[in-house]
Amino acid sequence: LYVVLEKGDIDFSKLIKNISETKQISMPMITYYWTEMLNAVHEIHKRGIIHSDLKPANFLLVEGRLKLIDFGIASSLQGDDTTSVLKDVPAGTYNYMSPEAISGRKINRKSDVWSMGCILFNLLYGRTPFSHLNNRWQKLHAIADLNHKVTFPKLQQHTPPSLRLALRWCLIKEVASRPTVEELVQLSELAPRLDSSLGKEIDGMMCKYFRKVLPNLKVLSEEEEFV
């Protein structure tokens, strides 16, 4: 019996490192890879699978496309979904693990969404949300503590509003307020309209528009600035 698998060119973690050593990752490249990740994770979620260990090293670049690998601690959901899966022990890489996974609480598809937010944070800022905390236990506590919010430093002015929205939305600690990947795909599909409508900022009218299109979006406030 022979098992033939597709050969990857390089894992996404090494690609990010190689690019960042010589230059900043371009915004079109970040947008492209974010869309690739969304499509991959959306596909497994539609099939009732929670990956549970999403991080750059678990995406392989194959002829310019990102492929998701390493389903070693993945969970399979039966039926439609609203059932969460409880892991016996936290697994995965701390910098990308969701608050509920670290706390030993139930996880669901939205736990993968948190991990994707951490990857996007890394692409935009060159680090993960809690990488500045060197002490392991301090880091775990900060991630698990629902009152310890993620800090978002000012981004480059030309960062697309759609990516800013996705970033903040994914990294909401309360699971119920976090988006599904399907909602993130919707946001990605609407991105050209959002990103070109106002250029550098989103006004109140566009915020209201997105609340109407994506009713679960609780990240924005009328005063929120994206410049």
Catalytic annotation, residues: 53
User: Does residue 204 sit in helix, strand or coil?
Assistant: helix
Q: How far apart are CA 83 and CA 95, in angstroms?
A: 25
DSSP state of 173: S
**What are the CA-CA distances from residue 178 to residues 2, 8, 71, 79, 215 (Å)?**
42, 31, 23, 21, 12
- Token pair 């990308």 in the structure block, residue: 96
How big is the chain, counted in residues?
227
What are the residues whose beta carbons fall under 8 Å from the beta carbon of 218, sequence distance 6 or more? 172, 177
Residue 208 neighbours by CB distance under 10 Å: 12
Task: Report residue 103 as tokens.
Answer: 């706390």
- Token pair 């500045």 in the structure block, residue: 132
Q: Residue 145 corresponds to which amino acid? A: D
Task: Report residue 101 as tokens.
Answer: 């996974």
Q: How far apart are CA 197 and CA 143, in angstroms?
A: 35
